[in-house]
Amino acid sequence: MQESDAKKPRGRSAIQAAHGGVTGEDEARLDLMISDLYGVDSDEAAEIHLNYHVDRMLAALARRCAERGIRIDAMADRLRYLNISGAANQVAKGRLSEAAAIDALFRSLRATENHDRDDRYISFYG
């Protein structure tokens, strides 16, 4: 093994380093880099890329929930109503920024928060 290969980042840190300064158009091209990095075919590279974004998005949602006082068990219960994998797929293909996806998912997560509570307007007028 060459010394330069030993200093190359591997695993998650390599994918994270590849994302540095990446624009939306370049995001879709990262699958090829992941394929070369791990020595896998393009389908598996796309899945690794997707899972990378799912993990990052779940971590960001957990941080936001903690900041807003939403318990982790409540968040986990509400996550089943969200299409995190679909949003991560859009991010991995460069069609949506990760920040925008997280914002949209968090808004949806918050919308499910008040699902069980009676709406005072419906109770009054209904």
Q: Does residue 2 sit within a domain?
A: no
Q: How many domains are there within the chain?
A: 1
Q: Does residue 52 sit within a domain?
A: yes
Q: Does the pLDDT at position 121 exceed 60?
A: no
Whole-model pTM?
0.74
* Cα angle 21-23-25, degrees, rounded to a multiple of 5: 145
Helix axes 98-113, 84-92, angle to 10 degrees: 170
Q: Which two tokens stand for residue 94?
A: 């460069």
Domain range holding 60?
9-125
For the segment 74-115, what is each residue's pLDDT rounded down to a tens digit? Answer: 899 989 889 999 999 999 998 999 999 999 999 998 887 655
Q: Does residue 15 sit within a domain?
A: yes
Q: Does residue 1 sit within a domain?
A: no
Q: Does residue 3 sit within a domain?
A: no
Q: In degrees rounded to 5, what are phi and psi of residue 23? A: -90, 175
Radius of gyration for the chain, computed over Cα atoms and rounded to the nearest angstrom = 19
Q: Does residue 4 sit within a domain?
A: no
Q: Does residue 74 sit within a domain?
A: yes
Q: Does the pLDDT at position 123 exceed 50?
A: no
Q: Does residue 120 sit within a domain?
A: yes
For the segment 25-84, what is each residue's pLDDT rounded down to a tens digit? Answer: 677 688 888 888 888 999 999 999 999 999 999 999 999 999 999 898 989 998 988 999
